[in-house]
Amino acid sequence: MAIAMKIASQISKSSWIRRMFEEGERLRQEFGNESIYDFTLGNPDVEPPESFSRELLELARNPLPGMHRYMNNAGYAETRSAVATKISKDAGLAVPADNIIMTCGAGGALNVVLKTILNPGEEVIILAPFFVEYKFYIDNHGGVPVEVWTNRDTFQLDIDAIENAITAKTRAIIICSPNNPTGVIYPAESLKQLGDVLKKIHERTGHLIYVISDEPYARIAFDGNHVPNIFPLVESSIIVTSHSKDLALPGERIGYLAANPRMATAGQFMEGAVFSNRVLGFVNAPALMQRLVAKLQDESVDIAAYQSKRDLLVRELSGMGFEMVKPDGAFYIFPKSPLADDVEFVKLAQKHHILLVPGAGFGAPGFFRIAYCFDMGMIERSLPAWRALAKEVGLKVR
Ligand SMILES: Cc1ncc(COP(=O)(O)O)c(C=O)c1O
């Protein structure tokens, strides 16, 4: 075989979204773009805020000397300082710029963190339903993913289940709020409960377990909801995030990680993480993007537009008999599959030109994911197809 057996096997296991994408392309060629309702990819179709283009033009017109050169592996001091100011405000505690590393997206940040902390065979708890890349990222660094379900009715943290899954080999827990794929936000009380459990274990046994808070959707919260900052709630926490979603810049690969200043090991962790960023071959986050996002820390795409799309879909699909937890943020809905087999359901949806990802793609069979980071016109045009699909699977359509 020309490639490693492990990679070949991982490709075949992880190809849900890609398979849906390919099927979408096929259907688009056959029926035309307008009659295909593609809810598969979390690739925002909005443009970055206008301030982004303004700053980009400004920088192109007045280039800084040496602005395309290598830099400190952690990133520009000015950018790290802007990020630290923003996080300090959100967390209500002083986060030094030294605790920030600019990274190639949240995906890059997750890999840097996992490389820095994992010894071979150590376990990382991931909470189903989860972003499927976690499993591969953990494997990249010799770790073992341990799947623990959130509450199946609310998708909120099940602290007892997490506590029961902790072993002597547990090194970290990855959480994601607002969540991909469920859209739920974890309230401060349950994050504090988690932090208290881990603190007790640390005090009793000296066993340090990190919480890696993956939060690229943190600025996309609805109904005046606010995503609690993890730093005051969980001492051993690391934030990984990016501007892929809040500034709609996924192709630019710009994000960061931040270590909780309350963590006694923060200094050693940062030293390791700067080294990992370098030797993973990222070297540093893209220079031009660092200059730009430094100026955009209080900006985001239009959250109200996402909320209108959520409201429309939740209202219409509930009226058709689909059951779902109303999302608090991000741009996903994770309804129950009306058929026992979510893969069968997704295949049936394709016949109605609706493209979805089965829950199995998120470690959660029995559900399906709708990404609604798309044009309102497409969402509205899709409703008759949803209605026909609901009728076909025997739902009580109002
Ligand atoms: C939960 C979650 N984490 C991480 C990522 C990776 O984002 P990035 O583009 O910043 O690498 C995504 C992207 O969809 C995501 O949904």
The pLDDT tens digits of the residues spanning 233-282 come to 999 999 999 999 999 999 999 999 999 999 999 999 999 999 999 999 99
Alpha-carbon span 84 to 302, nearest angstrom: 24
Q: Which atom of ligand 1 is nearest to the CA of 179?
A: 1
Residue type at position 116: T
What confidence category does residue 231 fall into, taking pLDDT thresholds of 50, 70 and 90?
A: very high
- Please state the length of the chain: 398
By most ligand atoms within 8 Å of CB, the mutation choice from 21, 174, 219, 244 for ligand 1 is: 244
In the chain, what is the greatest distance between 2 CA atoms, to the nearest angstrom? 65
Burial of 46 (0-12, 13-18, 19+ CB in 10 A): middle
Q: Tell me the CA–centroid distance for residue 30 and ligand 1, in Å.
A: 31
pTM of the predicted structure, to 2 decimals: 0.96
Residue 135 has pLDDT above 80, yes or no: yes
If you average pLDDT over every residue of the chain, what do you get?
96
Mean pLDDT of 296-301: 95
Report the alpha-carbon distance of residue 45 to residue 25 in Å, rounded. Answer: 17
- Asked if residue 17 has pLDDT above 80, the reply is no
Question: What stretch of H or E contains 342?
Answer: helix 342-351
What is residue 12's predicted lDDT score, i.e. its pLDDT? 82
pLDDT of residue 24: 81
Q: What is the band of 34 on the pLDDT scale with cuts at 50, 70, 90? A: confident
CATH class held by domain 5-47+302-392: alpha beta
More confident residue, 129 or 398: 129
- The protein residue whose alpha carbon is closest to atom 7 in ligand 1 is 106
- Residue 237's CB: how many other CB atoms inside 10 A? 26
Report the pocket of ligand 1 as residue ranges, CB < 6 Å.
42, 105-107, 131, 176, 180, 214, 216, 242, 244, 250, 255
Residue having the nearest C-alpha atom to atom 14 of ligand 1: 42
pLDDT of residue 270: 98
Q: What is the pLDDT of residues 366-385, one digit of tens each?
A: 999 999 999 999 999 999 99
Ligand 1, from 14, 114, 127, 133: best to mutate by most atoms within 8 Å of Cβ?
Answer: 133
d(CA 197, CA 239): 19
Å from CA of 257 to ligand 1 middle:
13
- Dihedral sign, Cα of residue 46, residue 52, residue 54, residue 60: negative
Within 10 Å of residue 319's Cβ, how many Cβ atoms? 15
Domain ranges, ordered by start, for the chain: 5-47+302-392, 50-293
Does this chain's domain 5-47+302-392 share its CATH topology with 50-293?
Answer: no
The architecture that CATH gives domain 50-293 is 3-Layer(aba) Sandwich (3.40)
User: Chain centroid to CA 4: how far?
Assistant: 28
pLDDT band at 45 (very low <50, low <70, confident <90, very high): confident
Instruction: Give which of 126, 319, 305 is closest to 212, Cα–Cα.
Output: 126
Enter the tokens of residue 137. Answer: 């990222």
Residue 177 Cα to ligand 1 midpoint, Å, equals 12
Assess whether pLDDT exceeds 90 at residue 16. no
